[in-house]
Amino acid sequence: MSATNSAGTTGRTPAPHTSTAPSTPSFAQSSWLVAEREVRMKLRSKAFLISTGILMVVVLGSILLGGFLGGNTESTTVAVTSDTAAAVQGQTGIEATEVATAEEAEQLVRDGDVTAAILPDDSTPLGIVVVADSETPSGLLQQLSITPPVTLLDGDAQNPFLAYLVAIAFGVVFFASAMTFGSTIAQSVVEEKQTRVVEILMSAVPVQALLAGKVVGNSILAFGQIAMIAALAIIGLTITGQSDLLSLLGAPVLWFVVFFVLGFVLLAALFAATGSMVSRVEDIGSTTTPVTMLVMIPYFLVIFFYDNPVVLGIMSYVPFSAPVGMPVRLFLGDAQWWEPLLSLVILAITALGTIVLGSKIYENSLLKLGGTVKWRDALSR
């Protein structure tokens, strides 16, 4: 039993008070903190939310409009007799009204109730004559014309116009996302450098974590937009009954998403690095122009050479154009099963090297104020 003093306290020596210093966040934690900051700032921007909403409306509207216009073709109304009814039987796009006599059919044409009348005429090779009011119904004549059967040697080939639309869609989505978020990253870097906020950020997180967080945060936003576009495309194609097109786009779209992830990370690192080389927002173009060209060239190439297998083949292996070129080749059925895997490996290696290079430029340029940092200085050390 321990002794007590007059105050009633025990004679035991109190344990010494120890204070634990806060642990330093890891590289991953620091990067995630910066990424969260980037996402929150973007989601609070009315301009970003409005532009995203407009983009979603345009995407869904274009799919719905194209589907409805393609499926809602007006039928041609004609008047026929019992002798000519067989001429239009089974014809799609023709709505026939059978009458008893040729005079009744001609009266329907004069009254504007039908576009034309198809009447018997033994003097013609087909045994019928088309009677119209004031204009020749060229569309009806094309439907009534005799077309010989066609055998396609390459039955699996895609419709050229559809291939063109798909190529433009892949090109536009990659171009718009890379330019929108790439320029945002570059501008954010310059603004933080110009306002000296970057010095505060660098005192809390490593430079490499700051770069990684910016890339990760904006990549999350870009991937979110791509996911929303894909979901709206599926909804639009389903509503308009274009399930066949949806099945054709399935695998190419999945590959596009995979290639987009690596391709965007590559470009985002370059935009952040080149943005750090200037100290004013007005000077961004002087260093980011080469990166902008890397985004624009694949967009124009896929528009003008969407049906050129040589150009598309080269594009599918060049890292900066592979996110557009390879999915288009997959849609056209021109790529072997192993080609997207090889292209993806090349893109991944290039993205990793670009991140290392961009990190060096970013670290060497971030605290240098005044004029534009020279490439030699940015790549030193």
Lowest mean pLDDT among 74-83, 107-116, 139-148: 139-148
42: pLDDT strictly greater than 70: yes
Question: Can you give the pLDDT at residue 81?
Answer: 86
In the predicted model, what is the mean pLDDT of residues 25-46?
88
73: pLDDT strictly greater than 60: no
Is residue 90 very low, low, confident or very high in pLDDT (cuts 50, 70, 90)? low
Which tokens sit at 233? 């495309």
CB atoms near residue 172 (< 10 Å): 15
In the predicted model, what is the mean pLDDT of residues 259-273?
92
Is residue 297 very low, low, confident or very high in pLDDT (cuts 50, 70, 90)? very high
Q: Would strands 76-80 and 116-120 be described as parallel, antiparallel, or unpaired?
A: parallel
Question: Can you give the pLDDT at residue 2?
Answer: 46
Q: What does the alpha-carbon distance between residue 34 and residue 378 come to, in Å, rounded to a whole number?
A: 23
Contacts of 303 (CB under 8 A, 6+ apart): 167, 168, 171
Q: Which long-range contacts (CB under 8 A, 24 or more apart) does 273-276 make?
A: 273/211, 273/357, 273/358, 273/359, 273/361, 273/362, 273/365, 273/378, 274/186, 274/361, 275/185, 275/186, 275/187, 275/188, 275/189, 275/190, 276/189, 276/190, 276/193, 276/361, 276/362, 276/365, 276/366, 276/373
156: pLDDT strictly greater than 60: no
CB atoms near residue 311 (< 10 Å): 16
**Tens of pLDDT along 214-223?**
889 988 988 8
345 with 361: CB under 8 angstroms? Answer: no
Question: Can you give the pLDDT at residue 322?
Answer: 94
User: CA 267 → CA 110, 171, 296, distances in Å?
Assistant: 66, 15, 12
Question: Can you give the pLDDT at residue 6?
Answer: 45
User: CA 36 → CA 86, 170, 185, 299, distances in Å?
Assistant: 70, 28, 14, 31
Secondary structure (H, E, C), the chain: CCCECCCCCECCCCCCCCCCCCCCCCHHHHHHHHHHHHHHHHHCCHHHHHHHHHHHHHHHHHHHHHHHHHHCCCCEEEEECCCCHHHHCCCCCEEEEECCCHHHHHHHHHHCCCCEEEEECCCCCCCEEEEECCCCCHHHHHHHCCCCCCCCCCCCCCCHHHHHHHHHHHHHHHHHHHHHHHHHHHHHHHHHHHCCHHHHHHHHCCHHHHHHHHHHHHHHHHHHHHHHHHHHHHHHHHHCCCHHHHHHHHHHHHHHHHHHHHHHHHHHHHHHHHHCCCCCHHHHHHHHHHHHHHHHHHHHHHHHCCCCHHHHHHHCCCCCCHHHHHHHHHHHCCCCCCHHHHHHHHHHHHHHHHHHHHHHHHHHHCCCCCCCCCHHHHCCC
Q: What does the alpha-carbon distance between residue 344 and residue 349 come to, in Å, rounded to a whole number?
A: 9
Return mean pLDDT, the chain. Answer: 82
Residue ranges of domains in the chain: 29-60+157-378, 77-136
Higher pLDDT, 251 or 242: 251
